Chain A
Amino acid sequence: QVKLLQSGAALVKPGASVKMSCKASGYTFTDYWVSWVKQSHGKSLEWIGEIYPNSGATNFNEKFKGKATLTVDKSTSTAYMELSRLTSEDSAIYYCTQWFAYWGQGTLVTVSS
């Protein structure tokens, strides 16, 4: 069965960066786009961007260009998202999802000094 296993919670200081992972199993990793979605506390969902593992091609929500960097490691079927220049507005749960059908369990990022 399809599984997406995300890395654990992170506490980071303002201005720093954080890199989170999403390890896929149960399907051919290179065949499906992987998207990342932000959910701020108690709020709705925002699409950040997506990456096609086979080619590394990416598409982004304009709002997150310059904030998020998406990469993959095909050898381990793992997708990564790095968020830079963190502020309190970046405190949220971040989900990876295989074309919005299968979802990881989420990674909580807390930005605090």
Chain B
Amino acid sequence: DIQMTQSPPSLSASLGDKVTITCQTSQNINKYIAWYQQKPGKAPRLLIGFTSRLVSGIPSRFSGSGSGRDYSFSISNVESEDIASYYCLQYDNSPWTFGGGTKLELK
């Protein structure tokens, strides 16, 4: 199974900050990584697919990059509505696996 090491587990930011979350995979996943936002009591919401493809309707302050085994997800100009948990998912090799999550809080 492909292991997903997501960091940091938690992040404290001020409104307007830029934050970055990383996922390192145990093997090359050929850019098949997606990023999700999850708010309490809600289902995950797809933000980005295939490393950097922003889903329609998702604000451009969200972005993703990476290749091989190293991937990152950023939010520029954090807004209050971005306070949530974020997860990465690799879908290159079954079993599909998720990162451990990052909880974004306001400083």
Given contacts A47-B97, A62-B95, contact A100 B46 (CB under 8 A): yes
Decide: A103 and B43 in contact? CB cutoff 8 A.
yes
Interface residues on B, range: 10 to 19
Alpha-carbon distance A29/B70, docked complex (angstroms): 34
Contact of A45 among B42, B45, B49, B98 (CB under 8 A): B98
**Number of chain A residues whose Cβ lies closer than 8 Å to a Cβ of chain B:** 17
From A35, A103, A104, A105, residue with most partner B Cβ within 10 Å? A103
A95 at the interface (CB under 8 A from B): yes
Decide: B99 and A44 in contact? CB cutoff 8 A.
yes
* Chain A residue at smallest Cβ distance from B101: A44
SS of B interface (majority) = loop
B71 at the interface (CB under 8 A from A): no
Query: Smallest Cβ distance from B89 to chain A, in angstroms?
Result: 6
* Chain A residue at smallest Cβ distance from B87: A45
Query: Smallest Cβ distance from A24 to chain B, in angstroms?
Result: 14
Seen from chain A, the residues whose Cβ lies within 8 Å of a Cβ on chain B are 35, 43-47, 59, 61-62, 95, 100-106
